Amino acid sequence: MNTRTIVDEDYFTIIDVIDNWWGDRQMSHLLPRLFFEHFQQTSFIVEDSNHHLAAFLIGFLSQTQRNVAYIHFVGVNPEFRNKGLARELYNLFFLTVHTLGCETVKCITSPTNEGSVSFHRAMGFSVALGTNYAGYGQDRIIFSKYLG
Ligand SMILES: CC(C)(COP(=O)(O)OP(=O)(O)OC[C@H]1O[C@@H](n2cnc3c(N)ncnc32)[C@H](O)[C@@H]1OP(=O)(O)O)[C@@H](O)C(=O)NCCC(=O)NCCS
């Protein structure tokens, strides 16, 4: 496996698989190309030895809260799940944003995404319910982790 920061062209590779990786949910519209153009320093991709996409993480630094970083998306190829790839990507992100001055990492997920909730708990995030966070009747789980 090889891990590197993302480049513009990774947009197409990820958009091709993302709905399938999320269990045929429509997700691609939540990951527009701007993330691949403007957040390269804090976004990562893992490829196997044949350069096939194994996992990715898209994250950025908050402009509003200078000591906060946000993970917008993490996805692991179903063939490579439960092997520690997401943990590895999160740890790389923690290290990168801590070096850039961030003390806290935040992210959200849908309350129905139980796998994501379990993963974030395993990664040491605190869990809170954001009522109407994404619109009326659209609750989200809000995760937060203090890096120190
Ligand atoms: C959630 C996801 C990113 C986890 O990736 P992964 O590489 O399989 O996770 P890891 O192997 O690094 O697991 C790290 C820890 O989380 C736990 N974990 C991961 N997925 C879990 C699940 N579905 N249920 C319960 N625990 C889970 C693991 O047991 C492990 O805990 P441990 O280290 O204490 O043993 C992956 O399942 C995925 O891509 N899901 C679809 C996309 C998604 O929902 N993304 C998150 C919302 S943006």
> What single-letter amino acid sits at 23?
G
Residue 107 alpha carbon, nearest atom of ligand 1:
48
- Residue 148 has a pLDDT of 86
DSSP code, position 84:
S
Interval between CA 121 and ligand 1 midpoint (Å): 10
CATH superfamily for 2-105 is Gcn5-related N-acetyltransferase (GNAT) (3.40.630.30)
| C-alpha to C-alpha distance for 132 and 58, rounded to whole angstroms | 24
Taken as a whole, the chain contains a residue count of 148
For residue 24, the model assigns a pLDDT of: 85
- Nearest Cα neighbor of 105 from 55, 76, 143 is 143
37: its two tokens? 């153009």
pLDDT of 25: 86
Q: Ligand 1 atom 34: the closest Cα is on which residue? A: 122
Residue nearest to ligand 1 atom 44, measured at CA: 116
Distance between CA atoms of residues 53 and 34, nearest Å: 20
- Return per-residue pLDDT of the chain as tens, 148 residues: 999 999 999 999 999 999 999 988 899 999 999 999 999 999 999 999 999 999 999 999 999 999 999 999 999 999 999 999 999 999 999 999 999 999 999 999 999 999 999 999 999 999 999 999 999 999 999 999 999 8
Closest residue CA from atom 33 of ligand 1? 122
Nearest CA to ligand 1 atom 10: 84
> Considering only CA atoms, which residue is closest to atom 16 of ligand 1?
119
Looking from the CA of residue 82, the nearest atom of ligand 1 is 11
Q: From the CA of 86, how far away is ligand 1's center (Å)?
A: 6
> Which of 22, 119, 145 maximizes ligand 1 atoms within 8 Å of its Cβ, making it the mutation to test the pocket?
119
Q: Provide the 3-class DSSP secondary structure of residue 69.
A: strand
CA distance 86 to 30: 19
How far apart, in whole angstroms, are the C-alpha atoms of residue 110 and residue 125? 15
Q: How do the domains of the chain map onto residue ranges?
A: 2-105
- Closest C-alpha to 58, from 34, 82, 77: 34
What is the C-alpha separation between 7 and 4, in angstroms, rounded? 9
Q: How far is CA 140 from CA 26, 107, 145, in A?
A: 17, 10, 16
pLDDT confidence of residue 32: 96
